[in-house]
Amino acid sequence: MNIEVEKSYGLLRFINKPRPWPVRCLYGVLSWCGLLLLGAPIRVASDSCRLAMKPNGIKIVIRRVIWFVHAGWFPISIRSDYFFDISEKMSVPACRSLIDWLERRPHMDSFDRRIWQADLYGGILERQCEKQGELLLTPDHPLMREDEAFRHSLDDALQALGRRLADPPAKPQASKRFKKGSDSFDKNDAYQTIGDFRQLMQGLGWSWYVVSGTLLGAVREQDFLGHDYDIDVGVDFQDFELSLLEEAVASSAGSWFIKSVSYCTFREPKEDGSVRYHQMDKPILVKLVHRTGLVADLFVHVEESGVLWHGSAIHRWDNSPFELAEYRLGEETVYGAADADRYLTENYGDWRTPVLEFDCSVDPPNIRYSRTARAVTYLAKVAYRFVLDGDVERARRYLDSMEASGVIERYDSAWRYNG
């Protein structure tokens, strides 16, 4: 049986709120027991127990539990979190243990097994790069094996995806869908969040502005979009310093905590056969959680070659550089791109017409993809899910977009990683 659960804003707020140490200890014990019950390797269960005890670790652990329900021995497939990178925040020993665990499951779909192994090999390399900032793999380097295994696993997954796309299931996999309830984006909480964010930035002396969907709401509706679930804000790369933000958050009397910090880990093959993994010296995205449980996505904007871009380890959106102007956002006044029409057209095309569905991975005219391991595995998983749902055309849109961006290339009747 397949179960697909829509995102619940109320649940997200509940999970995101900080918890005291005794509650986090309980989360850790329950996570350890639950994962062992689901058949997880003991190293993964122990790793998850430690992560659940950290201030912002329980959400990742919950996603791991859902993943093991999907991948383990239960006769239930929960596809709501199919795009999760199982290696996120996972230790190297736990990653290796889970790679072996996946290899011992011959009944598992070939794409599933190989794409998750690619995630895990990529995670091992990313953990090492995080420690050093840069990783140069020569042919005799101990981690060259992981790099080769990453590429082979990803190519195998893309070939399996190509085979499934050429011969899609005659009948899509039936799913029991549980729609999100009536709980929605609480605008009063959003006003508190944006007001406290202003105070945080004033204390740091940084110029900040609203971007993406938050600016769209400010321009089109002079308020937050009713179907939103987070707040999109930006700062300039030259202003941003993570250590200063961490100090300001620690001094905010519980108003904020940092949920995650995302760096882009780039893979760069060299002509001599070596491979360079490297990160920018500053993160590209910081997720800040407000005391209300709402998340503020703080995008660090980088100006290069006449383009101002922001994004994550997966996506990148390119804009023309812009000046700032004031906008009304419900009860608050904020700053955003002065030429809002140009900015929003670059991001959304016809931004004046509300749409029921907007896929941020392929619909924005300015979409690009970060040349990272995580970007390719994530996008391939999304395409595969659409094939299972019987939406072959949408799956092809993903693959065509990835090919146009140069992250994959045609290989016979399928694709392979272009890295």
Residue 178: predicted pLDDT = 40
Tell me the mean pLDDT in the region 241-261: 92
> Hey, what CATH topology would domain 187-362 get?
Beta Polymerase; domain 2 (3.30.460)
What is the reported pLDDT for 181? Answer: 43
- H or E segment to which residue 151 belongs: helix 144-166
Q: Report pLDDT digits (tens) over 188-203.
A: 889 999 999 999 999 9
C-alpha 38/C-alpha 40 separation (Å) is: 6
pLDDT tens-digit series, residues 148-185? 999 999 999 999 999 999 888 776 654 544 444 444 56
Rounded to whole angstroms, the Cα distance separating 155 from 115 reads 9
Average pLDDT over residues 107-120: 92
Share of the chain above pLDDT 90, in %: 57
Average pLDDT over residues 135-142: 93
Range with the poorest average pLDDT among 203-217, 223-237, 310-324: 223-237
d(C-alpha 197, C-alpha 231), whole Å:
10
For the chain, domain boundaries: 2-135, 187-362
pLDDT of residue 405: 86
Residues 259-270 have a mean pLDDT of 88
Q: Please state, in angstroms and as integers, the Cα–Cα distance from residue 242 to each residue in 80, 285, 333, following that order.
A: 32, 10, 26
Report d(CA 79, CA 92) in Å as an integer.
26
Q: For residue 207, what pLDDT is reported? A: 96
* Average pLDDT of the chain to the nearest whole number: 87
Rounded to an integer, the average pLDDT of 378-401 is 91
Question: How many Å apart are CA 160 and CA 195, to the nearest integer?
Answer: 49
Return the pLDDT at 1.
47
> What is the average pLDDT across 9-35?
76
**pLDDT attached to residue 388:** 85
pLDDT: is 277 or 226 the higher one?
277
The answer, yes or no, to whether residue 37 has pLDDT greater than 50, is yes
Question: What residues contact residue 214 under an 8 Å CB cut-off, 6+ apart?
Answer: 224, 225, 228, 231, 232, 233, 329, 334
How confident is residue 10, by pLDDT bands cut at 50, 70 and 90? low
Tell me which amino acid residue 335 is: Y
Of 100, 103, 92, 102, nearest to 143 by C-alpha is 92
Predicted confidence (pLDDT) at residue 248 exceeds the cutoff of 90? yes
Most confident of 103-107, 176-180, 304-308, 369-373: 304-308
